[in-house]
């Protein structure tokens, strides 16, 4: 039977090394037949890149739900071009904050893959 682990901002308030360690631990858990579902607010790029699937919400509405690695291309097709070398999470947070005055990232990773 597959286990499910729900976490609400497990890296909040942690230094970058510890946050990366926590996410790497979650990656390891996901490889042992577990589903990991977590929320993270504006993660660093290296942490964002560990997620498989992303759900972005703004004012309770879904802005994006799909593969994390396809998120930048999706918004690029809509005319929102994330600058090269920018953290997509930071860029889209500012973009949606300015557009909708509220933005929060919900990251869902059903199985981490590298």
| pLDDT reported for residue 77 | 92
**Res 102 pLDDT > 70:** no
pLDDT, tens only, 42-98: 788 889 888 888 888 777 778 889 998 999 999 999 888 889 888 888 888 777 766
* Residue 97, pLDDT score: 67
Cβ-Cβ contacts under 8 Å for 84 (sequence gap 6 or more):
none
**What fold characterizes domain 3-109?**
Rossmann fold (3.40.50)
HSE at residue 24, side-chain half, CA atoms within 13 A, is 7
Report which of residues 105 and 52 the model is more confident about.
Answer: 52
Q: Mention every residue, 6+ apart, whose C-beta is less than 8 A from residue 25.
A: none
The pLDDT of residue 43 is: 86
């Amino acid at each position: 039977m597959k286990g499910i682990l729900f976490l609400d901002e497990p890296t909040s308030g942690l230094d970058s090394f510890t946050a990366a360690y926590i996410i790497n631990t979650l990656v390891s858990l996901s490889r042992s037949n577990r589903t990991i579902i977590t929320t993270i607010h504006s993660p660093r790029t290296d942490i964002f890149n560990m997620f498989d699937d992303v759900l972005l919400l703004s004012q309770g509405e879904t802005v994006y739900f799909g593969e994390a690695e396809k998120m930048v291309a999706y918004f690029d097709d809509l005319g929102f071009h994330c600058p090269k070398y920018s953290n997509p999470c930071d860029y889209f947070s500012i973009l949606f904050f300015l557009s909708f005055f509220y933005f929060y990232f919900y990251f869902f990773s059903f199985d981490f893959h590298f």
